[in-house]
């Protein structure tokens, strides 16, 4: 290759390499490294599109109960396993008709185009998590909002309604702080 052709090609090669690197960084920024779920940034635009197109959509907010106690009693590796298993169960429930994300810490969010069976999600989330030869109890508070029940279909209103429902779920008798973790 002659010098002039090389001089013309190098900026193009550099630009292509830089574009590939930025594309990779953007894709990884939209996925939670622990759970593989989308992050808030990767989830929000898709959720807004689903709300606009699907009147029967349901938005969920989830929070692991007593997560600090789990980490303190069994270690952060056990907490990581509980987060990963919860993410897998939520993603399985969403299937092809929804999207799940990890907001951070022990908080998750999901949207489904149609209101699937919420009781099946509750049953799946209440199953103990296997870790280091033990079965660790897991409790998850879930709040939901059916988009068709909102006066105006908006993601922020759906999330606020689901958030209120989640905290009401946390306040139910027999919840939060009532089950000791086995060693």
Tokens of 137: 């109890």
H or E element in which residue 156 lies: helix 155-170
Please tell me what DSSP assigns to residue 140: E
Say if residues 116 and 91 touch (Cβ distance below 8 Å).
no
Which candidate in 63, 65, 106, 169 is catalytic?
A: 106
First to last CA, the chain: 68
Give residue 37's Cα distance to chain centre. 6
155-170 and 40-53 helices, crossing angle to 10°: 110
Whether 106 is catalytic: yes
CA-only gyration radius of the chain, Å:
21
Say if residues 124 and 89 touch (Cβ distance below 8 Å).
yes
Q: Which residues are tagged catalytic?
A: 106
């Amino acid at each position: 290759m002659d010098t002039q052709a090389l001089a013309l090609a190098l900026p193009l090669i550099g630009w292509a390499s830089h574009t590939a690197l930025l594309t990779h960084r953007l894709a990884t920024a939209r996925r939670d490294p622990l759970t593989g779920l989308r992050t808030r940034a990767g989830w929000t635009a898709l959720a807004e599109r689903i709300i606009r197109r699907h009147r029967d959509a349901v938005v969920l907010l989830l929070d692991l109960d007593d997560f600090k106690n789990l980490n303190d009693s069994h270690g952060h590796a056990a907490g990581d396993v509980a987060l990963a298993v919860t993410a897998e169960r939520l993603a399985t429930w969403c299937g092809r008709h929804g999207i799940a994300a990890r907001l951070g810490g022990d908080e998750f969010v999901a949207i489904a185009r149609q209101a699937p069976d919420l009781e099946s999600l509750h049953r799946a989330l209440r199953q103990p998590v296997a870790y280091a030869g033990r079965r660790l109890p897991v409790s998850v508070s879930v709040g939901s909002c059916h988009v068709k029940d909102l006066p105006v279909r908006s993601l922020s209103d759906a999330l606020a309604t689901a958030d209120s429902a989640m905290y009401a779920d946390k306040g139910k008798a027999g919840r939060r702080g009532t089950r000791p973790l086995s060693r």
